[in-house]
Chain A
Amino acid sequence: MADSQQISTGAKTGAHADLAVNMLHSPKERAVEYALGFCALVSVLTTLGIAAVLLVESLHFFAEVSIVEFLTETRWTPQFIDKHFGIWPLLSGTLLVTVIAALVALPIGLMSAIFIAEYAPERVRKVLKPGLELLAGIPTVVYGYFALTFVTPLLQTFVPGLNIYNALSAGIVVGVMIIPMVSSLSEDAIRAVPRSLAEGAYALGATRIEVVLRVMVPGAVSGIVASFILALSRAIGETMIVTLAAGAMPNLTANPAESVQTMTAFIVNVSLGDTPQGTVEFYSLFAVGLVLFLMTLSMNFLANLIIRRYRERY
């Protein structure tokens, strides 16, 4: 009894003394704070650094090639004697592949998201969702090889005159690659719509498809659109599949059967080649990279804007 009395009094006096110590500013707390802050800073600084390098190196390029030529010229021939630096062939290649990928991924991704969220029984959902997400784990080089050696020969059997390197095959496979992104994010958005809204709709005598199309999807529209945009910006930046399967011919065309070169594929080809540093071809890499960076950056901004603007509040 007496002992415990003493201990508790001792603890009390100790506690009084400790009040003066500022734990938040102890060296250990500070060290942790700085370490965490440093890690957070690394990624921000890296992004800023990359943007700065792209910008500075692009200035070298634009010192030799006018920005007017870059934006109006329709040929991209940096490795020819007669050099032309018009971004359009590369841009059209990228857009063509992206549009094809979107046509594949958006409907399939959204519909599978709806199926998983509203129709699939729990058992099926448990298999289907990880299965779809597994698609996202396949290395892109495997997709590229698959496009070149399987999809293209398959397409050639019913698309006459299909080039061995073509935008169609690459676009389809890029589309398959981004399906999980669309379906997974859209499904999360659909499931986030409160169950009470669906119940209210069912209680009004709505059928399942009416509940899905008139309550769940409208309620999730901001998340769904954001998933579309994020998936598309992934498609724009996709490199390996298009390098392997779409070709290396900058080609201003809207014909998916032709060979095209995307911005990313151009960067790969020139980086791998023996382009001497300091030449205009070398600097063109950074200009193309800058365009690519601006495109994906603005799509991410757009996605954020849409998430905020069109969120249905419940």
Chain B
Amino acid sequence: METNERNGSSPAGQGASEGAKVRVENLDFWYGANHVLKDVSLDIRANEVTAFIGPSGCGKSTLLRCLNRMNELIPDTRLEGRVLIDGRDIYRNADPVMVRRRIGMVFQKPNPFPKTIFENVIWGARVNGYKGDEADLVETCLRKAALWEEVKDRLHAQAYGLSGGQQQRLCIARTLAVAPDVVLMDEPASALDPIATAKLEETILQLKERYTIIIVTHNMQQAGRISDRTAFFYMGELIEADATEQLFTRPSRKRTEDYITGRFG
């Protein structure tokens, strides 16, 4: 499937000729005997928001977790094919720990550590051997995650005292502190109320200036609001990937059209 073609809605200067930030090549994935990803090939461009959509069980979260090797924490899984970041294979001759430092992840349910706000942000940087000014890094990351103004007076309070939306933005700040290039988000707004969701989406749009963002979402309006490109998955297969506007207005596949118009899913 050709997913790499140039299109009008992408930001200036971004094109297929520059090569993909993340490239997935003929990826197959199994949980035990269950074949959950079937020959998926996809290019993801730098400094864009790419949304993965599709009905439950279509493999979109699994693919996301293949991109930073989180799936290998689950026993009895198997992967074939290649995932490249900046042309470099992340599965062969690569350490999963080093891969995850370049490709951060924010989860469906906010999962801050039972520590203070400050400790949460600095945690990943510390295990990665960060030696600079901690207060500085914490402030920078909290600002990027649009949380600084809300927590600057209580950095040493417990993270669990924050609201769900604040906790999720804290998890984003924590991820940014490790200085990744790519940030994966697995339905980051599914546990949040509409106001917190709007705030989170605003944050994501600000982040794409510096990061490549891949977001799994159940919410097609959300994909429409924040993503530059959208990939639609069904039953473990990538059905279609295109500029978001294109995919939502003139899908090239019947299956995509049925899904986005609400005929199934």
Contacts and interface: CB of A to CB of B under 8 A. Distances in A.
B62 to A, nearest CB: 14
| Size range of the chain B interface in the assembly | 20 to 34
Contact of A205 (B111, B124, B160): B124
Contacts, number: 67
B178 interface: yes
Given A121-B75, A122-B75, A314-B160, A206 B124 contact: yes
A214 interface: yes
Interface string A187-227: 00000001011011111111100100011001100000000
Contacts of A205: 97-98, 100-101, 124, 127-128, 178
Contacts of B32: none
B96 to A, nearest CB: 8
Interface residues of A, number: 22
Contacts of A16: none
A163 B98 CA distance: 56
Given A204-B104, A204-B123, A314-B114, A199 B73 contact: yes
Nearest to A210: B127
Interface string B118-138: 000001100110000000000
A202 B73 contact: yes
Contacts of A73: none
Given A204-B100, A204-B175, A205-B97, A199 B128 contact: no
18 contacts: A121-B75, A196-B109, A196-B111, A197-B113, A200-B113, A201-B113, A201-B123, A201-B124, A201-B127, A202-B73, A203-B175, A204-B100, A204-B104, A205-B101, A205-B127, A207-B97, A215-B113, A314-B160
A-B CB proximity, top 9 nearest: A204-B124, A205-B101, A203-B105, A312-B114, A196-B111, A200-B111, A205-B100, A206-B127, A210-B127
